[in-house]
Structure 1
Amino acid sequence: MDQTPPPGPADGDLGTRIQLRYGALRKSERIVADYLREHAGERINFSITDFAQILGVSEATISRVSRALGYSGYPDLKLSMAQNSGTQSMIPNIPQEIDKSDSLIASSAKLANLLAQSILGTQRLLDAHRLEACVEAIGSARRVILVGVGGGAAICEETAHLFIKAGIDAYAYNDSYTQIIAAANIYSDCAMIGISHTGTTSGVANALTLAREKGAKTIAITSDPSSAVARAAEILLTTWNASTPSVPLHGDFLEGRISQLFLIDLIYIGLLFQGDGERGEHLKMTTRALERYYRATD
């Protein structure tokens, strides 16, 4: 029985089509899709036979992927890539779907779609048991320590800000030196959350490893489940890995950050609904205090 995914959208650039259909592709088909999105904006001159040999897949696999992406076949896919060669943005970590010739309003529509897809992709990757375990670990922790660098550090700061409002003792550290100090002095009834889009941040992985050795609950939020950061933690939450290959230390990765914020907000909601509503009371106390000292006056 043919289990080829139904054709994708009949329009949209290659990156968007791959992003929309990637989750439905088989393992061998993802090899083709990965090559195509890594070479989006380039002209492909291989015959289907040569292309299949290069990737180590069958010609039928390439044909199935072409149809799944909304093309009539491999020749149509090649033609589309040739017509669009050289038009995509070459700036690392900027979605390839956004072209420098686009108006800002056109870019806004593409970006909104990409960010929405990143959230939906992350939601599809959620494991209910891991999510519940994450909320339980944070909710029962005496102290929560968040570690990340760069853009991940910004997410850690935002998370600590949310948690403190709800009466959770939370701290964010953004440099490897302090992260190791915090991990070395963590207690077994505490929790550490490491945030890294690529999962390659060695300082975050090291801090999680040390905290886990100390008996603390450890949680990783990353897009790469095989990465060092993912392997270092006891509980893993995986974010969507979008179509643009990320370049570490080269700017930020918007889709990754949005996916991380989505997970943090989801965890926060779970924490607020947990137990007897004590955290809701903390929020009310926070609101009253802020109104008392920071209410705008005429």
Structure 2
Amino acid sequence: MNMDLTQRIQHYYKSMSKGQKIIAEYILTHYDKAAFMTASKLGHTVGVSESTVVRFALILGYEGYPKLQRALQELIRNKLTTVQRMELSEGMESSNILESVLKKDMNNIRMSIEELDKKAFQDVVESIFEAKNVYILGLRSSSVLAQFLGYYLNYALDNIKVVTSGVSDIFDQMARIGPKDLLICISFPRYATRALEGLKFAKQNEAQTVAITDSQLSPLKEHADICLTAHSDMASYVDSLVAPLSLLNALVVAVANRKKGDLTSHFSNLEAIWNQYGVYMGKDYTLDE
């Protein structure tokens, strides 16, 4: 069924029971809260049983409540303000924060693995090697991801250009992008408007485009030749970048494996420079007393 959650609710509303209609009305009115409720909590909130909530998911065509919940999260995730994110995390007990956040990050990686598109990943690696110049665009919280990817790719390649907020506007930094170039645009909810504009700009200039984002529903996908996804479900106002960072790690390793011989020689030269100028602490380093 090629309909989003609100369309499904509207389509099946007349055939719903009284209790299911109550759930539907609550979701449409309070989607920002319902998206992160368990079936039990949603049922308790609207005054119906947990089984009624499960049957509500089934009547909409979902395999179960978790699938409905995921659809609702995908539908509204970019509409959540920072204040709403904070409100959603208020129920998290302080004593369980560490364990809860680590488990959420682990789940993000697990879900990213399950939805991994290996062909798309290999296509991105090939595109990096075929490009005249590789532009890496990331803004706001995604700027750290762009900097990370650019930092490590720079060791293997000499055509990497990181585009992010700074003295120059992103369009100044991308002014020369063209048909033989590649733009890797990284953006996760809440998606930066300027990042999407940069992606469109690259596309208009006939550059190849890659989107690294959270799902196939991301607004970046429409303007990308290749789309790689990694889950980034948030905890509080903090964007979870663990799975995205792991995906970028994999890209770096794939590129490094292809450049292994050159990198070995390059790092041998770098080690001599680092030792000469004391870039890293040596084995004989001691703290002054």
Q: Same fold (TM over 0.5)?
A: yes
CA RMSD of superposed structures (Å): 3.9
Q: Mapping of 1:93-172 within 5 angstroms?
A: 93=85, 99-103=91-95, 106-172=96-162
CA gap of 1:280–1:208, structure 2 versus 1, over 3 A, is: farther
CA gap of 1:173–1:276, structure 2 versus 1, over 3 A, is: closer
The 3-state SS of whatever aligns with 2:169 is helix
Q: Does 1:296 align with 2:284?
A: no
Match in the other structure for 1:253? 239
Match in the other structure for 2:216? 225
Q: Which runs of 5+ in 1 are unaligned?
A: 1-30, 70-89
CA deviation after TM superposition for structure 1 residue 227, in Å: 2.9
**Percent identical across equivalent pairs?**
15
CA gap of 1:97–1:200, structure 2 versus 1, over 3 A, is: closer
Q: Mapping of 1:1-298 within 5 angstroms?
A: 37-39=35-37, 43-47=44-48, 57-58=58-59, 64-65=64-65, 92-93=84-85, 99-103=91-95, 106-175=96-165, 178-198=169-189, 200-242=191-233, 251-254=237-240, 257-274=241-258, 277-293=261-277, 294-296=279-281
The answer to whether the 8 A contact 1:144-1:191 is kept is: yes
CA deviation after TM superposition for structure 1 residue 132, in Å: 0.3
CA deviation after TM superposition for structure 1 residue 201, in Å: 2.2
More helix by share: 2
- Greater Cα shift, 37-46 or 285-294: 37-46
The 3-state SS of whatever aligns with 1:171 is strand
The answer to whether the 8 A contact 2:233-2:239 is kept is: no
CA deviation after TM superposition for structure 1 residue 189, in Å: 2.5
- Greater Cα shift, 194-203 or 259-268: 194-203
Return the TM-score normalized by structure 1. 0.65
Equivalent position amino acid for 1:292 in 2: Q
Return the TM-score normalized by structure 2. 0.67
Deviations 1:78-104 (A, max 9, x none): xxxxxxxxxxxx96446957845332x
CA gap of 1:292–1:189, structure 2 versus 1, over 3 A, is: farther
CA gap of 1:289–1:231, structure 2 versus 1, over 3 A, is: farther
Equivalent position amino acid for 1:126 in 2: L
CA deviation after TM superposition for structure 1 residue 269, in Å: 0.8
Distance in 2 (alpha carbons) for counterparts of 1:56 and 1:100: 26
